[in-house]
Structure 1
């Protein structure tokens, strides 16, 4: 069985689990929503600690990369890199298409004003559940690809620390943007990779970066840069009608 089937299976299971958890979680809001999802995630973590198939703290090791689609040998790091790049690109395109679709516009309306969306006749709970399930599917897809690429699935992949890192990436990159989380991931993972000699101090540096971004770039790196470019374009001087060739003559003739 090729790795594409393992990825499909992991994504499908994540979609189902997302639907089950979402049915319970979408009824809550604010801090209650966050705490409920965190509690359910911790339940999964403790189950994986006790389960025999996870090998406890050792995790599932020696995961074979295999041959994708029967022709793509993923045994080398370079071929695995291009495979991951393909999956990430396809996921980003799918997300971008979804965001700019009628479904995405309705979800944005629900985000901006849930009561108004309800008054317009939209089933808010259904759209919230759909977004929750899609997010779970994307998480399952990413987890499956990571396990195949690194050839190990450790307990850290299902711990609350991983959820915190993902949230940190989104906040640093910028909420409400497609490229923001990607930029945040590049920044934080790049720091962890190239500053590995600092060991536990890497987490401290990442925390400082997060504080600086929150205080100075409220919309995140990408969101703030996009807003700055948008304001500059709007403030750019426009050619007035009076400065156009022939405008003065036309005005004089009219007088």
Structure 2
């Protein structure tokens, strides 16, 4: 029953995405999908492996800069630019992961934050990033004869990339590999005693998370035709933590809902309250932590199990 319910929810969500441009501004929905994918990538690391990264925006920004440079300067096709950006994020994830997984808990989080700040200042000084001005006027190009400068064409490309990545994450967390990640999250010493190479599994999860975050960053660059230092800033890393916790850490749909709420509120409130939007988001985060400790989706799932008479931890 649970499998059928989740499958039905995924199908309904996909159908809603297909018809969304008829009711909503396509660029706004594309922004939501990019950040939802970013949050799903982060949740793969935090929710299913138990690793809290305070510097995950580094992969979003790196892929964005590389993809933008590849499309604008090297004149690569759109998909090739996205692939190059995703690959660059995966390689950086491997390098950062090799250092970070040597520590646990807050020490792991601080290492990721420190390395992210290091890369932020590299992007600030590097000539190919445009510094504080960012990389502007990135062309969308075309795909299979379709002009991606058209928002509708670009929208459906983003939907396909998001759906494919979401399916990959879903399959990963429900695979034997995903079960090992959950075992590491619950009790790392026990997983080690069972003979699993914990460091290798954590590194693979970190690289996969970085690659998917890079896909989100590269896609976002093509959607908006620019990338700035904001994409690699620690504030963006904090936002993805908020999205994941708000929606429900350790749930598949939670980060998607959390990203939708955060991006929607930012767009609705930015013109009305200005800089106070940060304060409002902070209040929402505090209320969520106090009232919905599992997140919105997590609490909904727990309520569903209680209605079935099942025990919920």
Partner of 2:194: 120
Task: Please report how far the alpha carbon of residue 76 of structure 1 lies from its aligned counterpart in structure 2 after TM superposition.
Answer: 1.1
| 1:174-225 deviation digits (Å, cap 9, x = unpaired) | 1101111110000000000111221111111111110000001000111111
TM-score of the aligned structures, taking structure 1 as reference length: 0.90
> Could you tell me which residue of structure 2 aligns to residue 55 of structure 1?
130
Q: Which residue does the alignment assign to 2:102?
A: 27
Equivalent residue for 1:44, pick from 119, 128, 134: 119
Deviation, structure 1 residue 74: 0.8
What secondary structure does 2:149 align onto?
Answer: coil
Which 5+ residue runs of structure 2 have no aligned equivalent?
A: 1-75
- The aligned counterpart of 2:288 is 213
What is the CA–CA distance in structure 2 between the aligned matches of 1:164 and 1:122, rounded to whole Å? 32
Equivalence for 1:203: 278
Structure 2 CA distance, aligned partners of 1:23 and 1:222?
33
**Moved segments of 4+, more than 4 Å:** none
| Higher RCO (CA-CA < 8 Å; seq separation 6+) | 2
- Give the Cα–Cα distance (whole angstroms) in 2 for the partners of residues 23 and 99 of structure 1: 22
The 5-angstrom pairing of residues 100-179 of structure 1 reads: 100-179=174-253
Give the match's secondary structure for 1:28: coil
The answer for unaligned runs of 5 or more in structure 1 is 236-255
Larger Rg: 1
Q: TM-score under structure 2 normalisation?
A: 0.73
**Which residue of the partner structure matches residue 81 of structure 1?**
155
Aligned position for 1:193: 267
Question: Once the 2 structures are TM-superposed, how far is the Cα of residue 115 of structure 1 from its aligned partner?
Answer: 1.0
RMSD (Å), alpha carbons: 0.9
Q: Which moved more, 1:118-127 or 1:71-80?
A: 71-80
Instruction: Compute the displacement of 1:72 (Å).
Output: 3.0
The Cα offsets for residues 35-73 of structure 1, whole Å up to 9 and x where unpaired, read as: 1100100011001111111111110000000112x3332
Q: Distance in 2 between matches of 1:9 and 1:211?
A: 38
Partner of 2:255: 181
How far, CA to CA, are the matches of 1:103 and 1:89 in structure 2? 21
* Matched residues, number: 234
